[in-house]
Structure 1
Amino acid sequence: MINFLSRVVMSVSGFVATIALTRTLGQERYGTYVVVLSVLAWVAIAGELGLPQAIRKRVSESDEGNYVVTGVLAQFGLFAVVAVCLWIARPYLNEFMEIEATWILILMLSVRLGIGFVRAILDGQLLVHVSSVLSPVEWTSRSIVQVVLVLSGFGIAGAFAGYVVGAIVAIAIGAYFVEIPRRKPSRRDFFRLRSYAQFSWLGSIKGRTFMSMDTIILAVFVSNSLIAVYEVAWNLASLFAIFGNSIRQTLFPEMSKLSSEGSSDGEIAGLLRVSLAYAGLFIIPGLVGAAIVGDVVLTVYGSGFETGYYILLILTFARLLYGYMGQFLTTIDAIDRPDLTFRINAVFVVVNLVLNVLLTWQFGWYGAAAATTASAGIGLLLGYYYANHVVDVVVPIAEIGKQCLAAGTMAGIVFFGRAVIGESLPIVVVLVGVGAGVYFVALFGLSQEFRTTVRENMPFPIPFFAPK
C-alpha cells in the first residue's frame, strides 16, 4: 500500500509538471525534452547491464556476501566507460537529439544510475516501503524545480535541472537507510553478481524497449510535436498501471527470500495468483474510462493533444497486457531462473524492434502503438508458458472477470452522464470520480475475495467492512 500510494503521489506530481511543461515549452520543445529522456533511458541500460536486478536479488537472499560495496565498485566502473563513450559520440548524439545536450545527458545519467542503485539495495534489504517513498520524493522535487524554472524563463534547461535535482534529493534520503555490511567484498561476490546480471541485463532492454522504443523510432519518422502527444498518451496509460507495478516490486523480494530458504513452490504460486488477481485492478477500469472520456481528458494538456485519443486506447491496452506479463517474469526471476526470462526478453526485444520499424514506417504513430501492443501480447504468452514450467500457475479468471463486469457497470454510468450532463472538462473530471466510486462499490459487491482483501488490509476496523 505504501508503494502504491507513493506511485500515486509520483504520478500526480508528474501529471501537473507535464501540463506546465507542455503549455509553457510547447509541443516542439517538449518533444525535444522527451527525446533526450528516451536517449538517457537507453544509455542507462549500458550503464547498468543488469546490475541493479542482480543486486536486488543477491541482497534479498540469505547470504553472507557484501553486495553493497561490490555493487558500488561495479556501478562506478560501468558509468565511467559509458560516460567516455558518450563524450566521444557527442556530435552524433547532439544531431539526433537536435540539441547540444551531451554533457547534460552524462550528468543526468550519473544521478539516474545512482537512484537506481540505491533503490535496488533497499528492495533487496526488504525495505520496499522506504524505496517506494523515494519515487514521490524524486518526482515531486523534480516537478517543483521544473515548474519554477520553466515558468521563470529558463526553458528546457530548467526541465533538465529539475530532473537532476530531484534525483539527488532522493539519493541522499535513500542512502541514509542503506545498511552496509561490515564484511570485506570478495571475488565470490563479484562472481555471484555477474552470474545473475549476465541474464538480467536483457530484462532492462526489454523494459526500455517497451517504454521507449516506439519514441526512438518515431523520432526518425515523425515530428517532435507528434512525439509530445504520443508521450502524453503513454504517460496517461502508465498512470493506470501503477498498482500492478507496486505488486511486482513488493512481491519480488518476498518470493526471492522464500525461494532461497527452500520453501515450497505452493507458497510462491499462491503469491503469483494474488499478483495476477490484482494486477488489473486499476488498469481494467482505466481502459474502459479512457474509451469513454479520454478525448476530453487529453485536452488538459493543451490544444491539439486530443488527437492522441486512439493512441491512448491502444497504449493502455498494451500496458494491461504488459502488466500481466510482468507478474510472470517477476516470479521466474525471483526463483533464480533468469535464464528463462532471458529467452522471453530476447523474443520480446526482437519482435518489438522489428514491428516498430516496419509498422511505424508504414502507419506512423498508430503503427508504433500497435507494435508495442503486439510485442506485449507475445511476451505475455511466453511468460505464462515458462512460469508454468517452474511453478503451478493458477490464473484467477473469475476475479479478473468480476473486475471487467464492475468496469462495465462504471462505463454505463459515465457514458450516460456524459450524454445527459455534458462533456466539458470540469464535468468529465467529476464523472471520472463518480465512475471510480461506482467501480469499486460494484466490485466490492461482486467479489468476496476483494472484500476480504480490503478488510484484512484496513489499518483499523470499520463496521461496513466487517465480516457478516
Structure 2
Amino acid sequence: MNLAKAALKLFSANVINAAISFLGIALFARALGASQIGSYFLFVALLGILTVPADFGLRGAVEKRISEGNTPDIVFTTALLLKTVPISLVVVVLIVARGYIAAYLGAGLVGLLIVALFLQEVSRMMISVLKGELRVGETAVLESAQKVCWLLVGGGLVLVGYQVRALVYGLIAGMIVLLVWGWYRSETTFDRPTKTYARNLLSYSKYNSISSIGSLFYSWMDVLVIGIFLTQVHVGAYEVAWRISVAVVLLSEATATAIFPQVSKWNAQNAAAKIERIIPDATTASLALVIPAFFGALLFSRDILRIVFGSEFEIAWLVLIILLLEKVFQAIHMVMGRSLQAIDRPDLAARATMVSIVANLGLNVSFVWAFGLTGAAVATLIAATLSSYLHVRYLERFLTIRVDQSEIGWCIVSALGMVAVLSVVTFYIPIETIPQLGGVITSGAIFYGLFLLLSPSIRSKLTRNMKAAFR
C-alpha cells in the first residue's frame, strides 16, 4: 500500500468535500437564515449521535478484521447480520419518541431521520470494506460524489421552496449514491455468516463503539446541548464555526485514515519498528495545516463569519478561534488514536475516550448554561486536550513515540511569520468582500508554505512523499 498516494488522494478529496460543504453551507445559510439551517444541523447532529447505538462499532471492526487478511466475505456478511439488531432497536425508540424528536428538531423530520439512519449505516459499511481491502484512496471519489449530490439536490430543492427538508433530501440522495457506488467498487461479496466471526467482530466492536462515541461527541454533543439551552440561531452560528474549523484537519484526517490499515497489517506481522518510524512523520503532517489556521483565525475570524455567512453569524467569532485551537489537539489525537486501535488495543482507546466523554458532557452542560456559545467551545477544547494526552500515554506502553519537535516548532515559527506579513497587508488593505478575503487567505497560505520550505528536513520529506504519491 502506497501511504503517500493514499493520503494524497484522501486529502485532495477532503479539500474538495470541504469546499463543497463550505459553499453549500454559505449559500444555504444566506438563503434559509440561521434558524432554518440550525434545524438542519440539529437533524445531522441527532443522526450522528444515533450512529453509535445503530453501529455498535461494527464498521471499525470490519475494517480492522478485513485489513488483517481474514476472509472478507464472511466478515462482511456476518457484520451486516449483526447490525440488523441495533438498527432495529434504534428505529423502535425513534418511533416511540417521535413526538419529542419532532418538537426538538423544529420540523416533522422523524420519518426522514429513520430513512437517513438506515442508508447511512449501510453506505458507510461499504466505505469500511474498501478501507479494509487496503483501497483507502479509492474511497475519496465516493466521498466527493456524496457531497456533490447533497449540494445539487439540496440546492435545487431550496430554489423551489422546500427549506430545511431540501437539505435533508440532498443528504439522503448522497447516501444512496455512496451505497450504490461503494457496492460496485468493492471486491467483497456475501458468504455464510459464522458464530466464530461474530464473536471476533464483537470482541473488537464493543471497544471501538466507545471510541466512536468520542469522535461523535466532539462533533455533535455541544450542538445538541446548545439546542437545549439556547436557540436555533445559536445552533446555526456555532455549527458554522465548527464546520470552518473542521476544514483545517483535512490533512490530519487523511493521514490518520491512510495509516490505519497499514499499521494494522504491520502489527499483525509484528513489525513494530515500521510503525514507530511512521508515527512521527504522520504527526507532523497532521499538524502542518492546523497550526497556521489557528494563528490566522486570530486575525480573520470576524471577517470570515461576517463576510461569507452574514452578520448574524458573527456572534461565533471567539468560538471559531477556540475551536481552531482545539483542532491542534484533535490532530494529535487522530494519529495516536487510530494507531492505538490499529495495534489491536481498542480497549485502551475506549478507556481514554470514556474519560474525555464524561468531561465533555459535564463541561458542556455547565459551561453552555453559564457562558453560552463560548462555553461550549471551551468545554470541547478541554476534553480534546485530555483525550489526546491519554491516547499518547496509552500508545507509549507499546511503542516508542518520538515526535519531531524541531519540525513542529518550525511550523509554529512559519505560522508566526505568516501572521506578521498579513498584519502588515491588512493594515493597508481593508477586507470587505469575499474576493478580498480569499486573496488575503491565499496569500497567507503561500507565505506559510514558503517559510515552511526553509526547513531542510521538512523540504526533504515533502519532496520524498510527493515523488512517492505520484509514482
Identical pairs, percent: 25
Contact 1:288 1:407 in 2 (8 A): yes
d(CA) in 1 for partners of 2:230, 2:27: 24
Tell me which residue corresponds to 2:410: 402
- Listed as ranges, the matches of 1:18-167 within 5 Å are 18-64=25-71, 66-167=74-175
* Runs of 5+ consecutive residues of structure 2 not aligned to the other structure: 1-7
Q: Does residue 272 of structure 1 match 2:279?
A: yes
How many angstroms does 1:35 deviate by?
Answer: 0.9
Query: What is the number of equivalent residue pairs in this alignment?
Result: 460
* Match for residue 261 of structure 2 among 235, 247, 253: 253
Change (3 A) 1:87 1:450: farther
Q: CA deviation at 1:183?
A: 5.2
From 2, 10, 26, the counterpart of 1:3: 10
Aligned amino acid, residue 250 of structure 1: A
CA contact (8 A) 1:219 1:227 kept: yes
Q: CA deviation at 1:174?
A: 1.0
- What SS does structure 1 have at the residue aligned with 2:30? helix
Give the secondary structure class of the aligned counterpart of 2:160.
helix
Higher relative contact order (CA 8 A, sep 6+): 2
* Alpha-carbon displacement from aligned partner over 1:321-378 (angstroms, at most 9, x marks no partner): 1110121111110010111111101101101011111111111111111000000111
Aligned position for 1:176: 184
- Call closer, same or farther: CA 1:405–1:81 in 2, change over 3 Å: same
1:460 shift after superposition: 9.6
Q: Which runs of 4+ in 1 moved over 6 A?
A: none
Residue in 2 aligned with 1:209?
Answer: 217
The DSSP-based 3-state class of the residue aligned with 2:256 is helix
Q: Which stretch of the first structure deviates more once superposed, 20-29 or 297-306?
A: 297-306
Normalization by structure 1: what TM-score? 0.96
Could you state the TM-score of these two structures normalised by the residue count of structure 2? 0.95
Q: In the TM superposition, what is the alpha-carbon distance from 1:458 to its structure 2 partner?
A: 3.6
Mapped contact 1:69–1:180 kept (Cα < 8 A)? no
**Alpha-carbon distance, 1:228 to partner:** 0.5
Q: Secondary structure at the match of 2:161?
A: helix
CA distance in 1: counterparts of 2:437 and 2:460, whole angstroms: 29
Partners of 1:339 and 1:14 lie apart in 2 by 34
Q: Is the 8 A contact 1:130 1:174 kept in 2?
A: no
Q: Which moved more, 1:191-200 or 1:294-303?
A: 294-303
CA contact (8 A) 2:452 2:458 kept: no
In 2, distance between residues paired with 1:412 and 1:94?
49
Corresponding position of 2:392:
384
Shift of 1:77: 3.1
Matches within 5 A, 1:292-307: 292-299=299-306, 300-307=308-315
Displacement of 1:240 after TM fit?
0.5
The Cα of 1:181 is off from its aligned counterpart by 5.3
Contact 2:34 2:313 in 1 (8 A): no
> How far off its partner does 1:408 sit?
1.0
CA distance 1:224–1:290, change in 2 (3 Å): same
Match of 1:240, SS? helix
Matched, 1:417 2:436: no
Question: What is the one-letter code of the residue matched to 1:55?
Answer: V
- Does residue 311 of structure 2 align to residue 285 of structure 1? no
What is aligned with 1:374?
382
Deviating more after overlay: 76-85 vs 14-23 = 76-85
How far the C-alpha of 1:69 sits from its partner, in A, is 1.1
- Which letter maps to 2:327? R
What is the root-mean-square deviation in Å for CA atoms of aligned residues?
1.5
**Distance verdict in 2 for CA 1:145–1:258, change over 3 Å:** same
Deviation of residue 182 (structure 1)?
A: 6.7
- Output the amino acid matched with 2:12: L
Give 2:5's aligned residue. none
